[in-house]
Amino acid sequence: MPEQIATKENVTVAVVGGGTAGLALASELMRLKVGKVVVLEREAEAGGVPRHCGHYPFGLREYARLMKGPDYAKRNREAAAALGVDIRTGTTVTKLHPGGELGLSASAGTTTLSADRVVLCTGVRESSRAERFIGGDRPDGIVSTGALQSMVYLEGIRPFRQPIILGSELVSFSAIQTCQHLGIRPVAMIEEMDRLIARRPLGLYLLVKSMPLYTGITNPRIIGRERVEAMNFIDRTGQAKRIAADGVIVSGRFRPESALMRDGHLEVDPGTGGPVIDQFGRCSDPAYFAAGNLLRPAETSGFCRQEGIETARRVAHDLERGSTVDQGVVRIRTADPALRFVVPQRIDLSGATGGMTHLYLGLNGPVRGTMAATAGAETLWKGRLNTQPVRRTRIPLDGIVRAAPAQDVVVGRRA
């Protein structure tokens, strides 16, 4: 067992997670001169998912140059270190205690760290085979996109030659690019939903690659003894299909990496799987904030970086003026089966400015028609939406906040 270290350290802000959002947030806090900022990263190297995305495009908006993922991650690390951010790798946060106290485990042993504010930036992970209810055998050769990228870009391992890709989100196309790096040729892409989830132009990419796309499939089953041999499924016409393959890439269906919160004191939203926050990113314990893809899976690195910067400014302001949550909050929720979640889930009624300007919606299916946000009999916002699951879907939040509703805000479709 790791040795217990008796000392207890105090810092101004502890950032849990050294990915794109966490590094950007910590860097901005140092620019704002809030005090001592430490990033706690469990991996051996900070940088997050881009570290093993050995393809373009990264960094164009942030650094005015086109980069591959590892170069982008390195640039983010170097920028944070140059500003004086204390980046501690190989450090796992084991417990979130009330008031900003953290339990830590590292090679030197276990200890505690106390922060005036803690910002959670632990990101997302892809849903596992079990979470997606994929039946069949359990041979070797079944990987997530993230695991594939680590094998290919960090270790130079070719886990298969002709896999099938389950999923059609943007990350599924990233899997194709990763495969190309070592001459792997995916044989097909299959999707449970009735259409391509990524933007339609990417369907043309599949045509160029001569890669068949099957949408609306059901009952996927993996076949194989020692290694994957095939994937069976029912196509959208009700016909049984069998596609020979030597591997399966289980891609997408992102979930927040929120294991730390499962048995903790922070309130977790059942829709997102991440923490409940207000428009400032503040969690149910006002010592804790959250940013990045932990909030709502899953956005691009550029989006998460900007969100990290904006959250840093809110944290700095909170440190300066103190928490305002004792002045009241109202909930934002949905009773519409087409909506899976809303972010943020609470509104701080203190009148403080600088919060999020949009409410993000997660969808269970396509939405087309009039959407409204109401508080009792009062309509706070109404507009038309035509959007799909996994797309960035948002509605204006600032007007809802200015209305200072006296009761819960409910978001849903209007007839």
**128-252 domain in CATH 3.50.50.60?**
yes
CATH number (2.60.120.470, 3.40.47.10, 2.60.40.1220, 3.50.50.60) of 7-126+253-323 reads 3.50.50.60
**pLDDT at residue number 115:** 98
In 3D space, the residue among 275, 265, 409, 271 whose CA is nearest the CA of residue 329 turns out to be 409
Please report, for the chain, the start and end positions of each structural domain, with discontinuous segments joined by +: 7-126+253-323, 128-252, 328-415
**pLDDT at residue number 55:** 85
**pLDDT at residue number 7:** 66
pLDDT beneath 70, residues of the chain: 1-7, 323-327
Over residues 53-92, the pLDDT tens digits come to: 888 899 999 999 999 999 999 999 999 999 999 999 999 9
Over residues 345-392, the pLDDT tens digits come to: 999 998 889 999 999 999 998 899 999 999 999 999 999 999 988 889
**pLDDT at residue number 393:** 94
**pLDDT at residue number 365:** 86
**pLDDT at residue number 321:** 87
Scored b (16 or more CB within 10 A) or e, 380-394 reads bbeeebeebbbeebb
DSSP, residue by residue, 183-248: T----EEE-SSSS-SS-THHHHHHHHTT--EE-S-EEEEEE-SSB--EEEEE-TTS-EEEEE-SEE
**pLDDT at residue number 390:** 86
**pLDDT at residue number 5:** 55
**pLDDT at residue number 409:** 97
Query: In 17-152, at which residue ranges do the beta strands (DSSP E only) sit?
Result: 37-40, 86-88, 92-97, 101-106, 109-120, 124-126, 135-136, 142-144
7-126+253-323 and 128-252 agree in CATH topology: yes
Q: What is the pTM of this model?
A: 0.93
Helix (H, G, I), strand (E, B) or coil at 99: coil
